[in-house]
Structure 1
Amino acid sequence: MRLLTLTLLTALSGLAQAAEPLSIDVHRDANCGCCKAWIEHLQSNGFVVNDHVEDDMSAVKQRLGVPPRLSSCHTGVIDGQFVEGHVPAADILKLRQQPDLLGAAVPGMPAGSPGMEYGDRRDAYQVLGLQREGGERVISDYPGN
């Protein structure tokens, strides 16, 4: 009976931990509207966002190891990995399953990506993962219209 109780308590503890919301730090410029919209996307998908308004986003990106070729407007950090640009919440969850990656990015500001939903236009884009040795791999593909 004691073993059954211990097993049940362990299982319930695991469920409680799984239900805890994920926390992400987001660094952004004060005047960026799409950054705020991306934060709203994260929050509506269960993330707790620690919002950091920055004076020098280039310095933040450099400090976090975001290559200029992958750059966008805002930069998040979760579990030590960077999240650059308009990365969908589902792909942040995929990133967390890939500890060999330094981070994930949606370069530029593609129309229709989270935070860039203005009108009916949807650009095709990819979520790219940056490998530790500097190479990239595709995490997700999103078609345009």
Structure 2
Amino acid sequence: MLRKHLMAFGVLAISGLAQAADVIDVYRDPNCGCCKQWISHLRDNGFTVNDHVEPNMSAVKQHLGVAPRLASCHTGVIDGKFVEGHVPAEQVRLLAKRSDLKGLAVPGMPMGSPGMEMGDHKDAYQVIGLTQDGQDTVVAEY
């Protein structure tokens, strides 16, 4: 199933066709609860989410070019770009306007980020963009 989805992603990228800006494919481990909460956050913010349960998340991340330093638990694909971890919906929406970026990431699983809400506790965190030349750049701080 992963091959089918990733091949579809590759065909879209090669053909130059892009998914609608409000549709995101999310790949997640079957046992992860915070991934489901992040999907709910996206849906609550107007996204259509195609939820893909994937037991081999390492293969997904490697195929999409998500560097280990940027890794989290789930990976989204929107408009040919990756969205790694608990990225707020507002940043996901802005990604389409950033031709300089291959994707966005919130490394780790910071408390208080979308899908990681636990009471009033909130960790400070950054949304990192991966530039086309492989450099990290901070695109937002929370």
State whether TM-score is above 0.5.
Answer: yes
The equivalent residue for 1:44 is 44
Q: Distance in 1 between matches of 2:109 and 2:129?
A: 17
Q: Distance in 2 between matches of 1:21 and 1:57?
A: 24
Report the TM-score when normalising by structure 1. 0.83
Query: Do the aligned residues in 1 keep the contact of 2:37 with 2:114 (CA within 8 Å)?
Result: yes
* Residue 124 of structure 1: how far off its partner (Å): 0.3
The equivalent residue for 1:137 is 137
Query: Do the aligned residues in 1 keep the contact of 2:126 with 2:138 (CA within 8 Å)?
Result: yes
* Residue 21 of structure 1: how far off its partner (Å): 7.2
Give the alignment's Cα RMSD to 1 decimal: 1.1
Equivalent residue runs for 1:118-137 within 5 Å: 118-137=118-137
- Aligned: 1:74 with 2:74: yes
Q: Distance in 1 between matches of 2:21 and 2:123?
A: 30
The equivalent residue for 2:16 is none
Query: Do the aligned residues in 1 keep the contact of 2:27 with 2:75 (CA within 8 Å)?
Result: yes
- Aligned: 1:34 with 2:34: yes
Unaligned runs of 5+ in 1: 1-19
Which amino acid in structure 1 is aligned with residue 136 of structure 2? E
The equivalent residue for 1:91 is 91
Query: Do the aligned residues in 2 keep the contact of 1:21 with 1:46 (CA within 8 Å)?
Result: no
Task: Look up the SS of the partner of 1:90 in the other structure.
Answer: helix
Unaligned runs of 5+ in 2: 1-19
Instruction: Identify which range, 132-141 or 31-40, moves more after superposition.
Output: 132-141
Flag as ranges the 4+ runs of structure 1 deviating above 6 A. Answer: none
Q: Deviations over 1:48-106 (max 9, x none)?
A: 00000001000000000000000000000000000000000000112111012000000
Q: Distance in 1 between matches of 2:112 and 2:86?
A: 10
Q: Distance in 2 between matches of 1:119 and 1:32?
A: 19
Q: Distance in 2 between matches of 1:58 and 1:65?
A: 11
Give % identity: 66
Query: Do the aligned residues in 2 keep the contact of 1:87 with 1:104 (CA within 8 Å)?
Result: yes
Q: Deviations over 1:98-143 (max 9, x none)?
A: 012000000000000000001211000000000011101111000x
The equivalent residue for 2:13 is none
The equivalent residue for 2:59 is 59
Q: Distance in 2 between matches of 1:47 and 1:54?
A: 20
